[in-house]
Amino acid sequence: MSKKDSEAVSAVLSYLRDQNRPYSAGDVFSNLHKKYGKTAVTRCMEQLAADGKIKEKTYGKQKVYVINQGEFEEVDDEELKRLDGMVTELGKELQQLQSECKMQENELKTLATVLTTQEANSRLKQFTNECESMNSRLEGIKSKSKNITPEEKEKICKEHTATVKEWRKRKRMVMDVVNSIMEGYPKSKKQLFVSLVFDVHFCVPPRHDLVIQGHCQCVCMLFCQSVCLFVCLSNTYIL
């Protein structure tokens, strides 16, 4: 037997003794991380079975091997009870360690998302400078602006509400006109807007007039605060 085969036999026998459970040759080959060839592992297990160091049993086409129990010393009932108690205690200790490990992992994840002291100081300095800049700007605005009274504010709000109401009313009127035209218009609404010079303007001074002329043009201003919608229907008869 070569030195490599001897090492394989020792490794297989040691593994079966340590695990003390049945394995096939393929299982042992995989569990030894394919350190030895599958043919060599199979040959070693057959040799060990022939020498009586392991037991062989055939299930259909597969052979299963287990360490010969005669390799171990006999253990009385008291020793088995002691070993069972050790297993129980070790199991409890394992659960406790796993719980502590999980807690440590969660704490590590939390700490990984927290800023370091250096980063926190840098952020604090940045926000402090921004606050100082904004406060300085606010003081400048307060010193230059004229404060309004609650009565003036209420008046502005009422005017804004009335303006919005009028804007919605005029918008509905214009869309009614557009929809009426679309009933007999052969093209799309977009093309109608282009042909009637439909345009939208932002920040246009608001106007409250609606001018309708029979054979020249119709102008309607729709506005809401600083945004106004201007619709021009030119060279169109409105019956």
**Comparison of pLDDT for 198 and 13, the residue scoring more:** 13
pTM of the entire predicted model: 0.38
User: What confidence tens digit (pLDDT) does each residue in 96-150 have?
Assistant: 999 999 999 999 998 888 888 898 999 999 999 999 999 998 888 877 767 778 8
- Residues 87, 90, 91, 95, Cα dihedral to 10°: 180
Question: How far is CA 171 from its chain centroid?
Answer: 43
Give the tens place of pLDDT for each residue, 140-173: 887 776 777 888 889 999 999 999 999 889 888 8
226 has pLDDT over 70? no
Q: What is the pLDDT of residue 217?
A: 34
Tell me how far apart the alpha carbons of residues 43 and 52 are, in angstroms, rounded to a whole number.
14
pLDDT at 235 over 60: no
| Residue 11: HSE in the Cβ half-sphere, 13 Å Cα cutoff | 21
Q: How far apart are CA 139 and CA 132, in angstroms?
A: 11
**Please, are residues 24 and 65 in contact by the beta-carbon 8 Å criterion?**
yes
